[in-house]
C-alpha cells in the first residue's frame, strides 16, 4: 500500500470516528432517514477519503441493489456502503450515492438543524441493510 492522501474538507463535515479522517460535508447529506442494522445511517451525495470493496448484490428493504462496501482509507474501518445500481426505478436516485452508518462517524455539526428546509425524500425512504 502506498501513501494515503487525505483530502481536507472545507466547512462542517463528518469524520471517521476511529481515526478522525474527514469523510463528507454536512452540505452533502441527502437524507438522514436511512437505517442500518445498528440504527441510523445517512445518505451522502459524495464522500472523500474512502475506498470501496467488491460489488455485490444485496437485498434491502427497498429491493435488490448492487452495492459496494465503503471503508475509511486511513484506518480501514467499514463505514457503510455505496449504491451502484438499483433494480427498482423508484430507488434509482440512490445510484452513485453513499450511505455512512451514523454510529461509525462523528460530526462537528449540531444535528437536524439545517436539513429541514430541503427534505427531498418521502417517509417511505429507508435503505435498510438486512
Binding interface with Zn ion (CB under 5 A): 16, 18-19, 21, 72, 74-75, 77
Instruction: Return the number of the residue (24 or 72) whose C-beta is nearest Zn ion.
Output: 72
Q: How far is the CB of 26 from Zn ion (least distance, A)?
A: 18
Instruction: Return the number of the residue (20 or 55) whose C-beta is nearest Zn ion.
Output: 20
Q: How far is the CB of 89 from Zn ion (least distance, A)?
A: 35
Considering only CA atoms, which of 46, 2, 4 is closest in space to residue 23? 46
Instruction: Return the number of the residue (97 or 104) whose C-beta is nearest Zn ion.
Output: 104
Q: How far is the CB of 49 from Zn ion (least distance, A)?
A: 8
How far apart, in Å, are the Cα atoms of 75 and each of 17, 34, 72, 94?
10, 24, 6, 26
Q: Count the neighbouring beta carbons within 10 Å of the beta carbon of residue 130.
A: 8
Considering only CA atoms, which of 67, 55, 60, 71 is closest in space to residue 104? 71
Amino acid at each position: 500500500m502506498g501513501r494515503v492522501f487525505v483530502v481536507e474538507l472545507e466547512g462542517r463535515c463528518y469524520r471517521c470516528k476511529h481515526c478522525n479522517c474527514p469523510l463528507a460535508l454536512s452540505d452533502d447529506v441527502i437524507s438522514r432517514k436511512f437505517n442500518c442494522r445498528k440504527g441510523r445511517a445517512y445518505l451522502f451525495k459524495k464522500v472523500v477519503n474512502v475506498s470501496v470493496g467488491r460489488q455485490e448484490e444485496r437485498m434491502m428493504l427497498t429491493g435488490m441493489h448492487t452495492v459496494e462496501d465503503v471503508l475509511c482509507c486511513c484506518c480501514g474501518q467499514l463505514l457503510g456502503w455505496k449504491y451502484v445500481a438499483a433494480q427498482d426505478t423508484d430507488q434509482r436516485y440512490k445510484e452513485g450515492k453513499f450511505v455512512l452508518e451514523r454510529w461509525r462517524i462523528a460530526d462537528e455539526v449540531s444535528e437536524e438543524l439545517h436539513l429541514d428546509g430541503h427534505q427531498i425524500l418521502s417517509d417511505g425512504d429507508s435503505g435498510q441493510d438486512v
